Amino acid sequence: MSYTQNETEKRKVEQYFSRKKINPEAIQSFCFMQNYKFRVGPSILILQLRSGKTKMLRPNKKGTEVLHYLLDKQIPFSNYTPQAKQAVTVPEKSYWSIWNILFDVFYTAVLLVLGYVMLKVLLQEPTGEYLVKDIAKYFALTTYVICFPIVLYYLLYKCHSIRTEHEGLVLSNRFSKRVLPYDEIRKLNFCIFSSKQPRVFIELIDKDFCYHRYLLGWMPLKSAKELALLLQSLGIDATDSINQ
């Protein structure tokens, strides 16, 4: 079975490996979606070379293309282990932390207050005596105007809540709801972006070996283990890279 969609996709992956100074023919096996030494986060690809050396990459947006290319080359996917499906009842349960939500609300409130204060100061008549001070006010307001929409985009669009239901995993935010049927997920992993930014990501490979990742803004870290065990019982190769 061929996973690579076309020659253009194949050529892009070959160029990607060339930039990383890796010969695809020298790859003995690979692991995907797991921590590597002190490196944590989504989209970690570990290549075991025939020379005995190990290379770590982060294909990020090229995750699907790179995965398809390696599978087409029939390179062993070392950490993909299909699980036996068990007869279990999936609870309808939401996973979220009140502390994470309160932090986001507090963070947004602080930004709103800062915006109000800066706007009030800006509306004052320029004195002309302190040019640097006036320039600093305009610079601060410009920075705020740029950053505040980014924060709102992060909180309202990029962050998802997660819920288990009978038909699948439900990821939702303020604007959309996405249902991921259990039988369409091959592999799934919970991870954090970094040790300094412990926001939970869910990354998964679907039935067509396409890679996806989502930010779970309000999920408590300890829930990853519980969810991974539940998904394993449903036949998904689910792992928890947070609580290892």
**Segment 67-126, tens digit of pLDDT:** 999 999 999 999 999 998 898 899 999 887 666 666 667 767 777 777 767 666 666 655
Residue 236 and residue 183 share a domain: yes
Percent of the chain at pLDDT exceeding 70: 79
- CATH number of the domain to which 20 belongs: 2.40.50.40
Domain assignment of residue 111, given as a range? 98-157
Q: Which of 107, 141, 157 is the last residue of a domain?
A: 157
Torsion angle defined by CA atoms of residues 73, 76, 77 and 83, in that order, rounded to the nearest 10 degrees: 130
Residue 87: inside a domain: no
Residue 217 and residue 150 share a domain: no
What pTM was estimated for this model as a whole?
Answer: 0.79
- CATH number of the domain to which 218 belongs: 2.30.29.30
Residue 236: inside a domain: yes
Residue 68 and residue 16 share a domain: yes
Residue 78: inside a domain: no
Residue 182 and residue 223 share a domain: yes
Strands (E), the chain: 27-32, 45-49, 54-57, 93-95, 161-164, 168-172, 177-181, 185-192, 200-206, 211-216, 237-240
Residue 86: inside a domain: no
Number of structural domains found in the chain: 3
Residue 140: inside a domain: yes
* pLDDT band (50, 70, 90) for residue 32: very high
Residue 192 and residue 152 share a domain: no
Torsion angle defined by CA atoms of residues 188, 43, 218 and 116, in that order, rounded to the nearest 10 degrees: -160
